[in-house]
Amino acid sequence: MIQHIVIVKWKTGTTEEQVLDACGRAGHMPNEIDGLQRITVGRNRAESEHGFTHALIVQLADEAALARYLDHPVRKRYLTEHLDPIVDQRIDIDVPVDLTLEREPLASWYWGVGVGMGALPPDD
């Protein structure tokens, strides 16, 4: 998987309704662009002065899907019609998932102490 991450600073005067409308209009793209798995949109919760307030995270199956997505006419039309008119600045980065670290489950099928999920019980 690879993630295309877009960090956005909106033009002065852009309303929350305009932001929500523009972001929501991307909802059709996962059904129209092969390899696009998910689009997630979120607001920055940190108090910062840089002015970048939202991130769009586009999850794609692989590098080939990223290339199709970046060149796809549906994406280009979305940018031209919905994002570009209200975006002041944006930063785009493409990040492959090289490593995923997750919290271990609290319980497992083996009820021994200190044995992780799927591990065999210790030899005695």
Place of tokens 């200190």: 114
pLDDT tens figures, 55-91: 999 999 999 999 999 999 999 999 999 999 999 999 9
Instruction: Say if residues 70 and 24 touch (Cβ distance below 8 Å).
Output: no
pLDDT higher than 80, residue 6: yes
Buried-exposed string 81-95: b where 16+ CB fall within 10 A, e elsewhere: ebbeebbeebeeeee
pLDDT tens figures, 107-120: 666 555 555 555 55
Tell me which of 115 and 46 has the higher pLDDT. 46
Distance CA 23, CA 110 (A): 45
Question: Taking the model in full, what pTM does it have?
Answer: 0.77
CATH number of 2-96: 3.30.70.100
Average per-residue pLDDT in the chain?
A: 88
| Coil, strand or helix at 4 | strand
